[in-house]
Amino acid sequence: MHVTPLAWGLTIVVIVALLAFDYFFHVRHAHVPTLREAAIWSSIYVGLALLFGVVVLIFGGVTMGAEYFAGYVTEKALSVDNLFVFLIIMSSFRVPREDQQKVLLFGIVFSIFARTAFIFLGAALINSFAWVFYIFGLILLITAGNMLRPETEESHSADNFIIRIAKKFMHTTEHYDGDKLFTIENGKRAMTPMLLVMVAIGGTDILFALDSIPAIFGLTQNVFIVFTATVFSLMGLRQLYFLLDGLLDRLIYLSFGLAAILGFIGVKLILHALHENNLPFVNDGEPVDVVEVSTALSLSVIIGVLIVTVIASLTSQKGRAQAAIAGARHHAANYVDLDYTADADERERIYSKLVKEEQQLKSLDPKFKKMVREETALLDLIKRAHADHDAFLNR
């Protein structure tokens, strides 16, 4: 189906309007979203994405609609995995909780611009060179293999090359000044960590785009579907970050599920490349008669893998243990960090979570207690959080 300029224009207007609404009504005034607020707005954005898919289904047909839903589900799953990295980066920079929304919205806007550029570049390459499908397929297979390797927080360190260059050539301050990007320190204009963390988020998202864009091109080559599925998967990511806080550590098998999905799409791309083959050293430049995977099968595999992955993660005793350990470490560190938040209710919420996770740590099966890294340091950190809370109550 040919997408008219009017359809493109209306879609872009809707996206810009949603981003503007998000900024002026939610992000402009720094605050910590409640769980209820995050749940409501996450549901609204998912609902809008599904409603858009129904519109595509009605006006574009079954194939186009199925391609949109397959692309949206895949990109949404990848964006959830990306949230874990964003969490590590913001923890590394000790971003105040109430200012994290601004960082996330910047990340979403930057993602939309960066991925739009990658989408049109990818479309131009595909239209000119059919062999690009081989490259995209190999990228996804390599990415799938990398996802199977265990990762640590150090592998996503915020102290990357771009940040080191920025610190070297620009006067930076170690302290935040609200959500300002620049401040005055000792009479000089200085860059705050808020700008640095935005640079780190933006740089990291470029790497994410190198995986996600080939993935969705493996499901559809319709540029309109690629663009809208990608953008709608990013919309509402800010709210989802606060909604899934604490649950991300439970999804211990998410990387395996995503590896399976990317591997599947990678094989699908290579099969498509063989079907469209014009490389002279492959079958004498003639197309190869291979089975092509249908969009319906792709959508079924993607949804099936994600359902199995989430259920296996949430019912896993190891997942519960890992969530308790990571949560206790994270919440204890946040509580003793005075830069974390100035909101008394937020500190009480964090402390309540810490108490619950501490009880879970004490009741861990001995085989899971081996998962605790630097146990003495963790226990000392928890004791310090208790002392700080007692001092906070008695002041």
321-330 pLDDT tens trace: 877 887 888 7
Q: Would you tell me how many other CB atoms lie within 10 Å of the CB of residue 57?
A: 16
Specify whether the CB–CB gap between 323 and 246 falls below 8 A.
yes
Mean per-residue pLDDT of the chain: 83
101-133 pLDDT tens trace: 888 888 888 888 888 999 999 888 887 777 888
Between the two ends of the chain, the Cα-to-Cα distance in Å is 67
Q: Which two tokens stand for residue 201?
A: 């988020």
Per-residue model confidence (pLDDT) at position 154: 46
Q: Which two tokens stand for residue 7?
A: 């359809």
325-374 pLDDT tens trace: 878 887 888 788 755 666 677 778 788 888 888 888 888 887 777 777 77
Angstrom distance (rounded) from CA 281 to CA 203: 37
The more confident residue out of 224 and 322 is 224
Tokens 């810490």, located at residue: 354
Q: Is a pLDDT exceeding 70 seen at residue 264? A: yes
Per-residue model confidence (pLDDT) at position 305: 93
Angstrom distance (rounded) from CA 84 to CA 246: 10
Angstrom distance (rounded) from CA 72 to CA 76: 6
**What does the pLDDT average to over 44-64?**
93
Specify whether the CB–CB gap between 143 and 163 falls below 8 A.
no
Per-residue model confidence (pLDDT) at position 10: 93
Q: Out of 247-251, 311-315, 379-383, which region has the weakest mean confidence (pLDDT)?
A: 247-251
- Nearest Cα to Cα of residue 204 among 103, 343, 320: 103
Cβ partners under 8 Å of residue 216, min gap 6? 71, 74, 75, 226, 229, 230
Q: Is a pLDDT exceeding 60 seen at residue 298? A: yes
Specify whether the CB–CB gap between 204 and 92 falls below 8 A.
no
Identify the band that residue 153 occupies on the pLDDT scale cut at 50, 70 and 90.
Answer: very low
pTM: 0.78
User: Maximum CA pair distance of the chain?
Assistant: 81
- Nearest Cα to Cα of residue 74 among 234, 224, 198, 192: 234
Q: Which two tokens stand for residue 358?
A: 């501490």
Specify whether the CB–CB gap between 7 and 58 falls below 8 A.
no
Identify the band that residue 14 occupies on the pLDDT scale cut at 50, 70 and 90.
Answer: very high
Per-residue model confidence (pLDDT) at position 212: 85
Q: Which two tokens stand for residue 43?
A: 């549901």
Angstrom distance (rounded) from CA 98 to CA 136: 39
